[in-house]
Amino acid sequence: MLPALLWAQGTTGIPGPLAPPLPLGVMLGGMLLFVNLIDPSRNPQVPLSSIQFRIILETFSDTAIIFVAVWCVGLDPSSGLWMLLLFPIFEVVARFSLLRAALLSAAIALLHVVSEIWFSVRYVELNLDSAALAHEVALLLLVAVGARVILSEENEYSDWVPTRAGVGTKLNKRKGERRLLPTGGLAVLYIDLEFEKELPKTVKLSLVREVIARRISSCIRTDDSVLGCDEDAFAVLLPGVRDVDGAVIVGERILDKLGDPVAVAGHLISINLRLGAAYSAHTVSEPDDLIGAAGREVILAKRRGGSSLVIHEPEPILVEAVN
């Protein structure tokens, strides 16, 4: 921000800006760092409502800081300081749903137009260039549309959902992506969730699933995949493993990771897991059969009171693994 403010002072035709750019740039830059320093969405114990309020507060604070810089230094359109508005434009596009991002982007552009008109009336030295102003607004909106298109596939903030909830969005998208490239052997883990107590009214099941999905993701390789099956189940695809023992090792790791209660929105949620493992040594393009086989073993184990980790055999024979 500081170089932009100094550049604005050097190119402006106004007899001196309203505020010195050096101390103003340091002050506003420090405010931006302070506002965006802490991300509460990384902590699962923070309530979702607090995270949403923090996101809204950060967005409006950042927008206000940028406008203060424009109003205090870059009054002359030739200064080009209006380009700092791209920062809040990117912010609203990345953090909000399509409708809210469109409304907020239009509001930012409208506020810029109103401020330019007001300053041209307020200061005689300023001449309003309607064509240049229209070009600026068009560029801001065009950048907003382009950023939305780029982020549409991997947006973790869509529909007011903060960072930790982005996992759920990706899982929903990947439910239908069951086709795999030929990579040799494939192991599948079917993870059945059972809550010891009924979830508190303030805790949504989707949020609990997203926290669990993040813990499962921390136990697997980058090439592995976590899929959302039913409301109380996940499936983990482990391509390239040599035998079912690879799935058993990952399953033990997941059981250990989720052995303790999970903290969600200030509540501790106790979860009983039961895992089923299935393996195919041949090329698999449709893993649904393996997922179904592992899921059936879990159901049988629950009925028989079997162990927490069971293996599907092609015969089929139910082989109990470590508890």
All structural domains of the chain, each given as residue ranges with its CATH number in brackets, are 2-160 (no CATH), 179-320 (3.30.70.270)
Residue 317 structure tokens: 């024979």
Model-wide pTM > 0.85: no
9-13, 144-148, 238-242, 308-312: least confidently modelled range: 9-13
| Residue of 133, 174, 169 lying closest to 154 (CA atoms) | 169
Residues 6+ apart with CB under 8 A from 289: none
The more confident residue out of 117 and 164 is: 117
Burial 196-229 (b: 16+ CB within 10 A, else e): eeeeeeebeeebbbbbbbbebbebbeeebbbbbb
What is the reported pLDDT for 303?
76
Q: Strand, coil or helix: what is 275?
A: strand
Residues 6+ apart with CB under 8 A from 180: 186, 237, 239, 284, 285, 287
Highest mean pLDDT (candidates 72-76, 117-121, 267-271): 267-271
What would the mean pLDDT of 130-139 be, rounded to a whole number?
81
Pairwise CA distance, residues 211 & 162, whole Å: 12
Other beta carbons within 10 angstroms of residue 241's beta carbon come to 20
Residues 6+ apart with CB under 8 A from 265: 44, 45, 46, 47, 48, 202, 203, 207
- List pLDDT tens digits, range 173-205: 443 333 344 445 788 889 888 888 888 888 888
204-213, 238-247, 277-286: least confidently modelled range: 277-286
- List pLDDT tens digits, range 140-153: 888 888 877 776 54
CB 235 within 8 A of CB 189: yes
Burial 294-305 (b: 16+ CB within 10 A, else e): bbbbbeebeeee
Pairwise CA distance, residues 92 & 103, whole Å: 9
What is the reported pLDDT for 174?
41
What proportion of the chain, given as a percentage, has pLDDT over 90?
A: 0
What is the reported pLDDT for 320?
43
What is the reported pLDDT for 312?
73
User: Where residue 133 falls among pLDDT bands split at 50, 70, 90?
Assistant: confident
Structure letter (DSSP) for residue 261 = P
| Residue of 87, 45, 30, 26 lying closest to 62 (CA atoms) | 87
Residue 191 structure tokens: 């993870």
Pairwise CA distance, residues 271 & 268, whole Å: 10
What are residue 268's DSSP bridge partners? Answer: 263
What proportion of the chain, given as a percentage, has pLDDT over 70?
A: 63
Mean pLDDT over all residues of the chain? Answer: 71
Please classify residue 315 by burial: count the beta carbons closer than 10 Å to its beta carbon, then call 0-12 exposed, 13-18 middle and 19+ buried. Answer: exposed
What is the reported pLDDT for 125?
66
The more confident residue out of 111 and 81 is: 111
The more confident residue out of 159 and 222 is: 222
What is the reported pLDDT for 181?
44
What would the mean pLDDT of 124-153 be, rounded to a whole number?
76
